[in-house]
Amino acid sequence: MPSSKRARLAIFLTVFTDLLGFGIVIPILPLYAKEIADHPSAWMEGVNHFLGLGGTGTTPGAFWAGVGFLSFSLMQFIASPILGRTSDKVGRKPVLWMSLVGSAIGYLMLALTSRFEWMLAARILDGITGGNISVAQAAMADSSAPEERSKAMGMIGAAFGLGFVLGPAMAGILSGSAFGHHLLATRGWHLPFFVAAGLSLTASLLVALWVPETLDHAARARSRETRGHALVKAFKRPGMPQLLIVSLLAMAGFSMMEGTFALLVHARFDFHQREVGFLFAGIGILMVIYQGGLVRMVSKRIPERMALIAGLLILGITLPLMPKAAWMWPFVLLFIPLSWGSGMSNTAGSALASRLTPPEDQGSLFGVLNAMTGLGRIIGPAVGTFAFARWGGQASYTVAGLTMGLALLLALTLSRKVPA
């Protein structure tokens, strides 16, 4: 095993830098996509008419915001197992570097366009190269003993959380700044996306200069000798089918919230990009508190299977309550179970899956796991934004809660015995 502490710290900083750019994009992308979709081309108008989204009381822009999320997730679903499997064969470092450079190019395309077609192309490119999290998770698993997997996955989650703290706050500041307004008014350029591109490039430099290769030569050689599609191999492992489908359902339910949150608070409280950015930052702070500290306490006291079940239960109760809560404290207090329930289910699920998989297949595992969550990100925003556009916010969040309920029922079928 390489110098584990140095490896984990380097991977954490790389993921944090990359997720900072991702956190800038997430809160403003739905409103950005909705705004440019309000001036549709002829083919978009035809789709609106076909789906019945042109009448009174409908919100076509919400649907096209969902298309922006869906295109990224579809490409990530296809590419993640390939990138994960490639990292098993050639190592984590080169694949991680390549994916970060691809993300930077995708953000740069977003920064320079005000046309929906180019926005779609940018999201497709970013999705193809967006398997960096699965490779980083595999690298964390390489650097950790089995009993430390929950804490290691918590570090990835903490990087996510920090990205969601600073990224959305930066999005609000950048999009509302005088310089941001000037660039948009005079050149049609979007300052937050330029910054996200720069952050991904910075992360690629961190990989090139500091991140060690975590997968040893022997494991790479064993991986090159194995055959079979990563998804087929994963589904043959006892317990993995349930975990993979739980991951799909949980992400579908959570991404219904992600894809419609900006639309919900805009409709209910008349909030715009700046306010949405700060709300996402609040969710990120709570994620950091859980992933950066509480996960250690939970992993010592609660078996991973029970932590997964508890997290799903919390989310299933919280999501349907969000459209009902009044501003301010009732709505904001729901961020606590939303963030901690998500952190609990994500870290426990990833740790369980990693412990069921040998070292030479960790990249394939996390590629498949992220492909399933990517599929959830396809289904979730598509269903959530369409339900929002057609029937309103309560419908989309109720469906999200029911989806978490299905994941919970499946998680209850997992065996209590997990390999050491």
d(CA 49, CA 16): 42
**SS3 of residue 54 by DSSP:** coil
pLDDT category at 2 given cuts 50, 70, 90 is very low
Give the global pTM.
Answer: 0.68
Query: Are 60 and 113 a contacting pair, CB within 8 Å?
Result: no
Confidence of residue 226 (pLDDT cuts 50, 70, 90): low
Task: Work out the pLDDT band at 314, boundaries 50, 70, 90.
Answer: very high
What mean pLDDT is predicted for residues 149-157?
Answer: 73
Find out whether 343 and 287 touch, Cβ atoms under 8 Å.
yes
pLDDT of residue 420: 47
Q: Is 4-411 in CATH node 3.40.50.800?
A: no
Average of pLDDT values for 75-95? 81
Span 142-146, mean pLDDT? Answer: 72
Nearby residues of 80 by Cβ (< 8 Å), 6 or more positions away: 130, 131, 134, 367, 368, 370, 371, 374
Maximum average pLDDT range among 80-94, 122-136, 178-192, 304-318: 304-318
Q: How close are the terminal C-alpha atoms of the chain, in Å?
A: 18
CB of 275 closer than 8 Å to CB of 30: no
Comparing CA positions, the residue from 131, 122, 169 lying closest to residue 279 is: 169
> Which of 399, 371, 406 shows the shortest CA–CA distance to 384?
399
In the chain, where are the structural domains located? Answer: 4-411
- Mean pLDDT over each residue of the chain, to the nearest integer: 80
Q: How far apart are CA 71 and CA 196, in angstroms?
A: 19
Indicate whether 15 pLDDT > 70: yes
* Residue 74 to residue 374: CA distance in whole angstroms: 7
Q: For residue 148, what are the contacts with CB-CB under 8 A and spacing of at least 6?
A: none
The predicted-structure confidence for 240-292, as pLDDT tens digits, reads as follows 888 889 989 999 999 898 888 888 888 888 777 677 777 877 887 887 787 76
Q: What are 207-221's pLDDT values in tens digits? A: 888 877 877 777 666
